[in-house]
Amino acid sequence: MPVLHNRISNEELKARMLAETEPRTTVSFYKYFHLDDPKAFRDRLYLELVKLNVFGRIYVAKEGINAQISVPQSQFEAFKQHLFECHPAFNNIRLNIALEDDGKSFWVLRFKVRERIVADGIDDETFDPSNVGEYLKAEQVNAMIDDPDTLFVDMRNHYEYEVGHFDNAIEIPSDTFRDQLPMAVDMLKEDKEKKIVMYCTGGIRCEKASAYMLHNGFKNVYHVEGGIIEYARRAKEQGLPVKFKGKNFVFDERMGERISDDVIANCHQCGAECDNHTNCLNDGCHLLFIQCPACAAKFDGCCSEICQTELKLPPEQQRALRAGRENGNKIFNKSKGLLQTTMHIPEPKDSASQE
Measure the CA–CA gap between 156 and 176, rounded to whole angstroms. 8
Predicted local confidence at residue 352, as pLDDT: 39
Q: What is the mean pLDDT of residues 192-221?
A: 94
Asked if residue 60 has pLDDT above 70, the reply is yes
Predicted local confidence at residue 343, as pLDDT: 38
Predicted local confidence at residue 17, as pLDDT: 64
Q: What is the mean pLDDT of residues 69-82?
A: 93
In the set 86, 200, 285, 295, the catalytic residue is 200
Summarised one tens digit per residue, pLDDT across range 4-32 is 555 666 677 666 766 677 899 999 999 98
Question: CATH assignment of 10-113?
Answer: 3.30.70.100
CA torsion sign, 124 to 130 to 132 to 135?
A: positive
200 counts as catalytic:
yes
Confidence at 252, pLDDT banded by 50, 70, 90: confident
Summarised one tens digit per residue, pLDDT across range 158-205 is 999 999 999 899 999 888 899 999 999 999 999 998 999 999 999 999
Predicted local confidence at residue 68, as pLDDT: 92
pTM metric for this prediction: 0.80
Asked if residue 149 has pLDDT above 80, the reply is yes
Predicted local confidence at residue 344, as pLDDT: 37
Cross-strand bridge partners of residue 150: 195
Asked if residue 318 has pLDDT above 80, the reply is yes
Q: Determine which of 94-108, 119-133, 315-329 has the lowest per-residue pLDDT on average.
A: 315-329
Predicted local confidence at residue 251, as pLDDT: 82
* Percent residues over pLDDT 70 in the chain: 85
Predicted local confidence at residue 21, as pLDDT: 76
Instruction: State the chain's mean pLDDT as an integer.
Output: 87
To the question of domain 134-246 being in CATH 3.40.250.10, the answer is yes
Predicted local confidence at residue 3, as pLDDT: 47
| Residue 160 identity | E
Asked if residue 330 has pLDDT above 80, the reply is no
CA torsion sign, 289 to 294 to 296 to 298?
A: negative
Q: Note whether 10-113 and 134-246 share their fold.
A: no
What is the residue extent of each domain of the chain? 10-113, 134-246, 265-341
Confidence at 100, pLDDT banded by 50, 70, 90: confident
Give pairs for 277-283: CB < 8 Å, separation 24+: 277/159, 277/163, 277/249, 280/304, 280/307, 280/342, 281/307, 281/311, 282/307, 282/308, 282/310, 282/311, 283/318, 283/322
Predicted local confidence at residue 320, as pLDDT: 86
Task: Give the helix ranges, DSSP H, for the chain.
Answer: 10-19, 38-51, 76-86, 138-145, 158-163, 177-187, 204-215, 227-237, 293-298, 305-311, 315-322, 338-341
Predicted local confidence at residue 13, as pLDDT: 63
